[in-house]
Amino acid sequence: MPGSRVEVERLTHAFDGNVVLRDVSFSIEPGELVALTGPSGSGKTTLLQLLGGLDRPTAGRIMVDGIPVHALRHATRYRREVVGFVFQLHHLLPALTAQENVQLPMVAAHVPRRERDLRAHELLDEVDLSGRARSLPSSLSGGERQRVAIARALAGQPRLILADEPTGSLDAAATERIWQLLAAVRERHGSTILVASHDASLLRHVDRSLAIRGGAVCEQPASNLAPPPPPATGPDHHDRAPAEL
Amino acid sequence: MTALLQSFESLERRPLRTFLTALGTALGIATIVALLAVAGGAQASATKFLSLGGSDLGLFQRDAADPTTSVLPLALVSELRRTRGVQAATPLVLLVGEIHRSPGAIAFGAYPDSFVTDRYVFLQGHMLTGDRQVAVGSGLAAQLHLHVGDTLSIAHRELSVSGIYHMGVPEQDDGAVIAFGLAQALAGKQGEATTIAVSLAPTVSRSQGVETIRRRFPGLLILGDGVSAPRAGVSGVLLSRLALVLAVIALVIGGVGVMNTMLMAVTERRTEFALLAAVGWSGPQIALRVMAEGVLTSLIGAALGLLLGVIGAQLLVGLLGAGEYVAPNVTAWDLGRALLVGVLLGVLGGMYPAWRAARLSPAKVLAER
Ligand SMILES: Nc1ncnc2c1ncn2[C@@H]1O[C@H](COP(=O)(O)OP(=O)(O)OP(=O)(O)O)[C@@H](O)[C@H]1O
Ligand SMILES: [Mg+2]
């Protein structure tokens, strides 16, 4: 399944008169893996939520594969069939097992039980967690939880994956693993992926990078992409705090 | 189905709250069941005395809570016989709920040669001749497959069936007649009767006769005159109206309880519902999930309520001191209604919380930390 083409035109969003995004325009080609950077409070989450049809913009247009997302009254179908969302906090339901959490989008789509079980198994396999299918989120590590959340985002076979700081609370090794996983998903499924992150290590995996600053979105200069790999100062270099952008 | 299973799981996670909510519903439904049962029983018992048959009158104690609890002194019988316009008067003791194989049937304690029993047409055998015999109505005989010579237990006395009669009045055909003295002994009414049946002389008009008796014995309730008849049912009717009012109140309380709990659950689990919306659940799908929990809770409550209601009905009858005459009858229809009410409560109580859950903005809720 090819990835989505995303076209954002003159997008503006304000909360109670407080403008977060001002007249923003950009586009993402099908199958691109793009980073979204910007300081805390700059509007990364806001932009991803607008793209994912979780909120409607104050003004402007968002076209995803020709779907006018900005104008959808009920984005239910769009959320279910086009988008896979990975949240800043994993938002797994605590009472459900990993497998059941992964199945949630499929329940909404009325996928029959047997097929759900099968697909959930495949998806957990894809994020390397097939052994933890029956575990509750509380017994999983932070990295494992995010991988379950990624598996859940993949459940609807989305053409567009939106990931909001999926590595927020993970160490460098777990973070790297998530990036590799997202890159692999892009390779395998051809999905378009937009990842918001503070973590510089993401930049080694993406095609390009967008930055939000002062309500504007601009292309990050290519020179800032792919910083040199962290110096190997010894066997314990994984313990360093991840570099901030 | 999945929604129901999952809602069962989420109820299981909060057993105490679920139980308390269910208990609220249960008390509401128990009230309904108990009151309906008692009211139904009282009404059924009361209406049975309306038909002593023919053009006769039944005299009862006026200030009795219910005609079934009426107590009249036997001395009245001879006074009545001396009253103008009265052709015959005979005392009756009524035993309700004492024929164990047919709790709804009435046992009439009567003198075997009174004008009431003289009208019986015997299909088999003959009128009873002593304390050890019973004459059985055709309806009751058919129901219990009784024949002459069989035994029938009334108030734990084994009586031999002397005959099977037909009268044409359902209450009497579905009952049995025993010796007056025996009935008195069984009811503990020495020198007393429940009612006195009066036959008016053909020379006086019905209203004249009623008027004479009324003036002479102002303390008596006269049934069978077409005017006072509805009064016999009055306590039963009142009780069922009261039951309705209380039931509505109880239901509102139960519904508010369900709503309160579900609102709490929705507030606590707003991330859950917002997440479901974010991964593509539609508003109705989310609402259904909340409703399913509400319905399940109140169904648990309804089941509990049925149980409490049946027990409560017995207690209530005992409390009212009407146990001798009012046999609470809980019918399958009552039980079905209570379950229906349970579902309805869950749906009504769950509606607003469900609407709230379905309307949560995923953007706002999921960005909270
Ligand atoms: N529901 C809301 N109501 C009012 N203001 C909001 C709301 N959501 C976000 N904001 C404001 O919009 C701005 C952008 O927030 P947003 O969460 O998009 O930033 P972010 O780039 O994701 O930050 P972080 O890196 O900390 O996650 C912030 O100033 C925030 O206070
Ligand atoms: Mg954010």
pLDDT at B237: 57
Q: Give the rounded distance of the alpha carbon of A125 from its chain centre.
A: 19
Query: What whole-number distance in Å separates Cα of residue B275 and Cα of residue A155?
Result: 14
pLDDT at B162: 94
Q: Is the confidence metric ipTM above 0.95 for this complex? A: no
User: Does pLDDT of B224 surpass 70?
Assistant: no
What would the mean pLDDT of A197-215 be, rounded to a whole number?
91
Are the Cβ atoms of B281 and A74 closer than 8 angstroms?
A: no
- Give the lowest-confidence range in A219-233, B117-131, B178-192, B259-273: A219-233
Q: Ligand 1 center to residue A47 CA distance, Å?
A: 10
List the alpha helices (DSSP H) in A28-141: 44-51, 76-81, 98-108, 113-126
pLDDT at B103: 77
Answer positive or negative: Cα dihedral of B300, B303, B307, B309: positive
pLDDT at B55: 52
Query: What whole-number distance in Å separates Cα of residue A163 and Cα of residue A150?
Result: 8
Query: What whole-number distance in Å separates Cα of residue A16 and Cα of residue A59?
Result: 14
With left for phi above 0 and alpha for psi between -120 and 50, is residue A234 left, alpha or beta? left
- Give the lowest-confidence range in A115-124, A167-176, B181-190, B233-242: B233-242
What would the mean pLDDT of A204-231 be, rounded to a whole number?
75
Contacts of residue A156 in chain B, CB cutoff 8 Å? 279-280
Contacts of residue A108 in chain B, CB cutoff 8 Å? 276, 279-282, 285
User: Does pLDDT of B219 surpass 70?
Assistant: yes
pLDDT at B233: 45
> What is the rounded radius of gyration, in angstroms, for the C-alpha atoms of chain A?
18
Query: What whole-number distance in Å separates Cα of residue B354 and Cα of residue B263?
Result: 8
The helix (run of H) or strand (run of E) holding residue B125 is strand B121-125
The helix (run of H) or strand (run of E) holding residue A218 is strand A216-219
Are the Cβ atoms of A91 and B361 closer than 8 angstroms?
A: no
Q: Which of A49, A95, A156 sits opposite B10 (nearest CB)?
A: A95
> What is the residue-wise DSSP string for A30-61?
TT-EEEEE--TTSSHHHHHHHHTTSS--SEEE
Which residues, other chains included, contact B68 with Cβ-Cβ below 8 Å and sequence gap of 6+? B45, B46, B49, B94, B96, B194, B322, B324, B325, B326
- Give the lowest-confidence range in A222-236, B321-335, B354-368: A222-236
Residue closest to B248 by CA, chosen among B346, B353, B347, B341? B341
User: Does pLDDT of A167 surpass 60?
Assistant: yes
Contacts of residue B281 in chain A, CB cutoff 8 Å? 76, 104, 107-108
Q: At what angle do helices B15-48 and B332-359 cross, to 10 degrees?
A: 150
Q: Give the rounded distance of the alpha carbon of A30 from its chain centre.
A: 15
Ligand nearest to C-alpha A20: 1
pLDDT at B58: 80
pLDDT at A186: 92
Residue closest to A64 by CA, chosen among A78, A54, A76? A78
User: Does pLDDT of B138 surpass 70?
Assistant: yes
Angle at A226 between CA A220 and CA A230, to 5 degrees: 135
What would the mean pLDDT of A221-226 be, rounded to a whole number?
54
User: Does pLDDT of B53 surpass 80?
Assistant: no
User: Does pLDDT of B133 surpass 90?
Assistant: yes
pLDDT at B232: 43
What would the mean pLDDT of A100-126 be, rounded to a whole number?
91
Most confident of B91-100, B244-253, B280-289: B280-289
The helix (run of H) or strand (run of E) holding residue B153 is strand B151-154
More confident residue, B2 or A216: A216
Q: Considering only alpha carbons, which residue of chain A is nearest residue B2? A: A107
pLDDT at B120: 85
Chain B positions contacting chain A at CB under 8 Å are: 2, 9-10, 13, 271-272, 275-283, 285, 361-364, 366-367, 369
Per-residue model confidence as pLDDT tens digits over A190-203: 999 999 998 889 99
The helix (run of H) or strand (run of E) holding residue B263 is helix B229-268
Are the Cβ atoms of A55 and B361 closer than 8 angstroms?
A: yes
User: Does pLDDT of B227 surpass 60?
Assistant: no
What would the mean pLDDT of A156-165 be, rounded to a whole number?
93
> Which of the four pLDDT bands, split at 50, 70 and 90, describes residue B251?
confident
Domain boundaries, chain A: 6-93+159-225
What would the mean pLDDT of B148-163 be, rounded to a whole number?
92
- Give the lowest-confidence range in A17-31, A83-97, A190-204, B10-24: B10-24
Polymer length of chain B? 369
| The listed CATH number (3.40.50.300, 3.40.50.2000, 3.40.50.1370, 3.40.50.150) that belongs to domain A6-93+159-225 | 3.40.50.300
Longest CA pairwise span in chain B (Å): 96
User: Does pLDDT of B49 surpass 90?
Assistant: no
pLDDT at A45: 93
User: Does pLDDT of A235 surpass 70?
Assistant: no
User: Does pLDDT of B50 surpass 90?
Assistant: no
pTM of the predicted model as reported, rounded to 2 decimal places: 0.65
Q: Give the gap in angstroms from C-alpha B237 to the nearest C-alpha of chain A.
A: 51
> What is the residue-wise DSSP string for B197-254?
EEEE-TTS-HHHHHHHHHHH-TTEEEESSSSSHHHHHHHHHHHHHHHHHHHHHHHHHH
Are the Cβ atoms of A104 and B362 closer than 8 angstroms?
A: no
More confident residue, A114 or B58: A114
Per-residue model confidence as pLDDT tens digits over B346-359: 888 889 999 999 98
Per-residue model confidence as pLDDT tens digits over A1-57: 688 999 999 999 999 889 999 999 999 999 999 999 999 999 999 999 999 999 999
